[in-house]
């Protein structure tokens, strides 16, 4: 057998089957896909264009960041230590109204992609304006993306209202239909910013086009109470009445859930995208992760945007998710490391309807792979590599990344990416935004 790439790591964590850690195995990549995963002895006579020894590394699927606002990297640290609605209303929305443009989204998304690739994230779901630009940048950076086609009742720099958002979104969907790295999803902002009519249209179109629906849902207690006052029901009940509570929905945040809502979400196949660090920073509440897991809900993990997190670090997100779940549940056994790692890989792939392509190391799937070096003192000794990944390892220990078999990170350095230009653009945006804010005071 000949392959393009033969990887020989110390450990392989395939994610599927669950709970398996392989030693003494090799993984072969050919034509961008996983060609074999076998004991090393079975590959003794194989030939490979490239063979890579990874003697102290874990090889695992690329991480899936199931919720981002990538371009908001340009607003990292803009207005910290504020509650959600003040943060949005007094700082984020005014900044966006002045600055958001194709150029802003292009430069911010490039910076976000660079940050994510360096940290082992190979796929991200985005919800932001100018999704066609996000798609262009993701393809340019060689990164996999599920690009949200934003819908909101309010006029923005991107569109005057729902009709224009739909027209632009459907054009983007048609342009990227069948693209090897980019797929689309509908992205209504939240129940409190999208009326029934557009939501009903999204329900119909999502079924026709077979795409996911990404939406902020039950993010804060204030949101839920406003919905009760305005609609006479909680947001989840309203979404249910509109036919949106199904396995196409990736409901982001979900910090305010009643026991009966947990059961309903699980039974309908709704994917819950947990963003623990953003929720903690904005004091939005605690997603009942352990209860959702016990009910059999489909779970994924996201960082949210760098303006509210303030990073796109999925290793940090895994650790926070695991620890927070134990504290909220009052149970040290809640959400063990393997389950949280599954959320960050196969769980995210399922939420984005990409699990037939990515999320686990199985023959025939795309070779979206990362290698994490556990040799540093911070992750020694190693009794359980999965526990080390979740509780001890940092994103700086990601040494190598492949997307569809294409090398994107080599020995900690991005491949075919002009980092100097990205950094210069990011700093320039920071200076422009800061100067404008100072002038407005």
Over the stretch 215-274, which tens digit does the pLDDT of each residue have?
999 999 999 999 999 889 999 999 999 999 999 999 999 999 999 999 999 999 999 999
CB 368 within 8 A of CB 49: no
Summarised one tens digit per residue, pLDDT across range 8-23 is 999 999 999 999 999 9
| DSSP state string for 420-432 | HHHHHHHHHHHHH
Whole-angstrom distance, CA of residue 389 vs CA of residue 157 = 41
Q: Where are the chain's structural domains?
A: 2-61+366-410, 63-351
Q: What is the mean pLDDT of residues 360-373?
A: 98
Write the class of the CATH domain 63-351. Answer: alpha beta
CB 125 within 8 A of CB 251: no
Whole-angstrom distance, CA of residue 317 vs CA of residue 325 = 12
Position 85 scores a pLDDT of 82
Q: What is the mean pLDDT of residues 361-375?
A: 98
Position 83 scores a pLDDT of 83
Give the DSSP H/E element, type plus range, for residue 57. strand 47-61
Position 122 scores a pLDDT of 99
Whole-angstrom distance, CA of residue 284 vs CA of residue 311 = 18
In this prediction, what percent of the chain has a pLDDT beyond 90?
Answer: 96
Q: What is the mean pLDDT of residues 363-386?
A: 98
Average pLDDT value over all residues in the chain: 97
Q: Any idea which architecture 2-61+366-410 has in CATH?
A: Roll (2.30)
Token pair listed for 346: 């196969």
Sign of CA dihedral 84, 66, 9, 17: positive
DSSP 3-state assignment of 416?
coil
The total of other beta-carbon atoms located within 10 Å of residue 41's CB is 9
CB 67 within 8 A of CB 214: yes
Token pair listed for 329: 């549940």
pTM given for the model: 0.98
């Amino acid at each position: 057998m000949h392959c393009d790439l033969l990887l020989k790591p110390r450990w392989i964590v395939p994610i599927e089957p669950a709970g398996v850690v392989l030693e003494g195995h090799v993984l072969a990549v050919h034509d961008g896909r996983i060609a074999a995963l076998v004991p090393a002895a079975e590959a003794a006579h194989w030939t490979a264009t490239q063979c890579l020894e990874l003697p102290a590394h874990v090889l695992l699927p690329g991480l899936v960041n199931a919720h981002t606002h990538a371009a908001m990297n340009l607003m990292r640290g803009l207005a910290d230590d504020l509650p959600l609605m003040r943060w949005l209303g007094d700082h984020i929305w005014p900044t966006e109204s002045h600055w958001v443009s194709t150029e802003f989204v292009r430069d911010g998304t490039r910076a976000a992609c660079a940050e994510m690739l360096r940290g082992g994230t190979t796929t991200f779901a985005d919800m932001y304006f100018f999704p066609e630009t996000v798609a262009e940048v993701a393809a340019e950076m060689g990164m996999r993306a599920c690009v949200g086609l934003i819908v909101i009742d309010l006029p923005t720099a991107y569109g005057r209202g729902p009709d224009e958002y739909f027209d632009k979104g459907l054009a983007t969907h048609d342009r990227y239909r069948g693209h090897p790295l980019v797929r689309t999803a509908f992205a209504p902002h939240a129940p409190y910013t999208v009326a029934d009519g557009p939501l009903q249209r999204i329900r119909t179109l999502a079924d026709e086009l077979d795409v996911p629906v990404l939406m902020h849902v039950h993010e804060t207690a204030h949101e839920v109470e406003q919905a009760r006052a305005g609609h006479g029901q909680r947001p989840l009940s309203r979404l249910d009445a509109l036919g949106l509570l199904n396995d196409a929905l990736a409901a982001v945040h979900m910090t305010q859930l009643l026991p009966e809502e947990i059961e309903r979400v699980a039974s309908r196949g709704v994917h819950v995208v947990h963003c623990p660090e953003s929720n903690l920073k904005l004091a939005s509440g605690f997603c009942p992760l352990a209860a959702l897991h016990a009910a059999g809900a489909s779970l994924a993990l996201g960082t949210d945007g760098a303006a509210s997190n303030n990073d796109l670090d999925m290793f940090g997100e895994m650790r926070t998710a695991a620890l927070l779940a134990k504290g909220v549940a009052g149970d040290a056994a809640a959400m063990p490391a393997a389950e949280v790692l599954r959320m960050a890989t196969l769980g995210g792939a399922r939420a984005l309807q990409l699990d037939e392509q990515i999320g686990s190391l199985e023959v025939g799937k795309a070779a979206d792979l990362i290698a994490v070096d556990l040799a540093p003192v911070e992750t020694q000794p190693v009794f359980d590599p999965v526990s080390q990944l979740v509780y001890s390892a940092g994103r700086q220990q990601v040494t190598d990344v492949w997307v569809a078999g294409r090398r994107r990170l080599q020995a900690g350095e991005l491949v075919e990416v002009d980092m100097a230009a990205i950094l210069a653009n990011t700093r320039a945006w920071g200076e422009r935004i800061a100067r404008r804010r100072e002038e407005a005071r």
